[in-house]
Amino acid sequence: MKVPTPPQRVLLVDDDEDTREMYAWSLGARGYEVITAGTVMNALGEAGAEQPDVVVTDFTLPGVSGLELAAKLKGTPETSCPIVLLSGREFSGDEREQALRLCDSILLKPILPDHLGDEIRHVLIRSAARRLRRQMQEMRRRLAETLRSVKTNQDAAREIVAAAEAAGGARRRTAILIADDHARYVAANDIACTVTGLSQEQLLSKSVWDLTMGMDAEAGRRMWQEFILRGSLEGTYSLAGYGVDPVTAWFAAAANVVPHLHVSLLAPVPEGGAVTAVDLAG
């Protein structure tokens, strides 16, 4: 069974109907929800209403350029998101600097649909990584103000979840999991339950390695101790589900957010090739 989390949403902007249909069909086959627009005005309206996870726009649009559209999108918090620009020519000088500042990726035509799909996945993963880092930083800031009066680890775990949810905002929600020194889960939010297919009670009876694909208990213990020594870690991995399909997620984890409590933030990402985990401690 598929996890009932919303699919990644792509806004595809191109004035050529055949191009829109070709890319929309290919991206839809990969599991994306695709919204299309043929003009900048329509694109801005769709971006405001639908809040896409990524915008793919042609450079040449009626009356304006894709860079002008990118500037309008990035200039408004409600529509700011990763942008992939498709262009029939290379940029140079000031225009190149503007393109690199506004766009997360620039692809030169001709662009095969599979190539576009792969690039969108990479852009979304990079975006998730940046977002979770910011969320972790903001969570720590909020905790510094709220944990002074907390008496027990159970209360602290609840405060961590609340601070992480507040730091993430309402637009793009994150799975939040809190574990103790023994890698047993002690708190989680509702998104974590949705992703794993477990209730709160069931999830809090599991350990980190119970949810890690292909991980036995002994290897899990070694992994957990290495993580605590490192202090932080991020990367992609397959999260085992119970009654649902495994989910590929980007995670950012921090050890000892408060003593003996360790937090993992997870954002589901499109499936595909693995990305190597990297140490964030340095």
CATH number at residue 41: 3.40.50.2300
With 0-12 / 13-18 / 19 or more C-beta atoms within 10 angstroms meaning exposed / middle / buried, residue 267 is buried
* Residue 89: domain span: 9-111
List of the chain residues with pLDDT < 50: 1-4, 273-282
- Specify whether 157 is located in the same domain as 91: no
Query: In the beta sheet, which residues pair with residue 258?
Result: 261
CATH code for position 232: 3.30.450.20
Report the amino acid identity of residue 45: G
For the chain, the domain total comes to 2
The pLDDT score that the predictor gives to residue 236 is 85
Residues 148 and 250 placed together within one structural domain of the fold: yes
Domain boundary among 61, 76, 111: 111
Q: What is the pLDDT of residue 279?
A: 36
Q: Give a yes or no: residue 4 inside a domain.
A: no
pLDDT of amino acid 34: 96
Q: Does residue 123 form part of some domain? A: no
Q: Is residue 20 included in any domain, yes or no?
A: yes
At 19-68, the pLDDT tens digits run: 999 999 999 999 899 999 999 999 999 999 989 999 999 999 988 899 99
Question: Is 200 in the same domain as 235?
Answer: yes
Identify which of 178, 282, 183, 175 has the alpha carbon closest to the alpha carbon of residue 224.
Answer: 183
